[in-house]
Amino acid sequence: MGRLDGKLALVTGAGRGIGRGIALELAREGAQVVVNDLGAEDCEKTAEAVRALKADAYTAPANVSRFDEVDRMVEHIEKMFGPVSILVNNAGINRDRRLVKMSEAEWDEVIAVDLKSQFNTLRALAPRMVERGYGRIVNVSSMSWQGNFGQANYAAAKAGVIGLTKTACRELAASGITVNAICPGFIDTEMTRSVPEKVWDIMVKKIPAGRVGTPEDVGRVVAFLASDDAAYVNGEVINISGGMVL
Ligand code: NAP
């Protein structure tokens, strides 16, 4: 018996990295998982890994920064696979550059993928969850929400995620829905592998735990927040960082 037996979870941006780690941990707890990412092939790779755990997996490729695509995706998922009980808003990108050199496109793209996408999925799914009187929503923010050199766009988006989360909690909690945000610290994925070696070493020195985090470290916390053990945890912002201080 898993804590998420019989629950259907949608994880965005789950083709690799943290999203994939979350999808696998939810499956280990018994959930059926719908894998979203931009590309169908990436979705399928994670779905296969989920099935290898003897859990059901489905794919739903879509660009979550576009409301029309998300609306269609949610409609399709619920028609084909059933009601979504767990939503994990994980998809994200970074386009780092100092504020004085940042282009409008770099600003717009990050705000659209890291923040607007979370409004899109909430707007499409929350009314359905309200009707059913149940939902678990986990929004992926970042410790960078507090401000980080070269990340004006990313920090603004991730701070926005926290405002969105706390507002959604106030509006949805009475309908049996929890909405929490997580702030991963420095996690080993393609996103962090793209930083120069010097920056990697500096970041590791900031982690009291003495190691970089893994997607599974994040996935296990999300599995808890998605479970009924966390029924009374709502509107919270939880760091998953090995004690890192930015
Ligand atoms: P990642 O390895 O780059 O994976 C991100 C995934 O999101 C990719 O599979 C990507 O697809 C997908 N994606 C991007 N844009 C999308 C869109 N518009 N619609 C659907 N899927 C999209 O990044 P990660 O490190 O796992 O990060 C996952 C989340 O954690 C992000 O929100 C990130 O900001 C957050 N986070 C990460 C860290 C860290 O240390 N890694 C720390 C704090 C917060 P493509 O491959 O097609 O681009």
Domain locations in the chain as residue ranges: 8-188+215-238
pLDDT at residue 33, as a whole number? 98
Report the top-level CATH class of 8-188+215-238: alpha beta
pLDDT at residue 246, as a whole number? 82
Which residues in the chain show pLDDT less than 50?
A: none
Ligand 1 atom closest to residue 61's alpha carbon, by position in its atom list: 20
Ligand 1 atom closest to residue 144's alpha carbon, by position in its atom list: 43
pLDDT at residue 163, as a whole number? 99
Question: What is the reported pTM?
Answer: 0.98
Longest dimension (CA), the chain: 54
| Dihedral of alpha carbons 221, 161, 24, 134, sign | positive
pLDDT at residue 166, as a whole number? 99
pLDDT at residue 30, as a whole number? 98
pLDDT at residue 1, as a whole number? 80
**How far is Cα 218 from Cα 74, in angstroms, rounded to an integer?**
25
Distance 5 CA to ligand 1 centre (A): 26
Q: Which residue is listed with tokens 């926290």?
A: 162
Residues with CB under 6 A from ligand 1: 12-13, 15-19, 36-39, 42, 63-65, 90-93, 113-114, 140, 142, 184, 186-187, 189-192
Catalytic residues: 154
Nearest CA to 74 out of 110, 121, 112, 116 is that of 121
Pocket test for ligand 1, best of 10, 18, 25, 110 (most atoms within 8 A of CB): 18
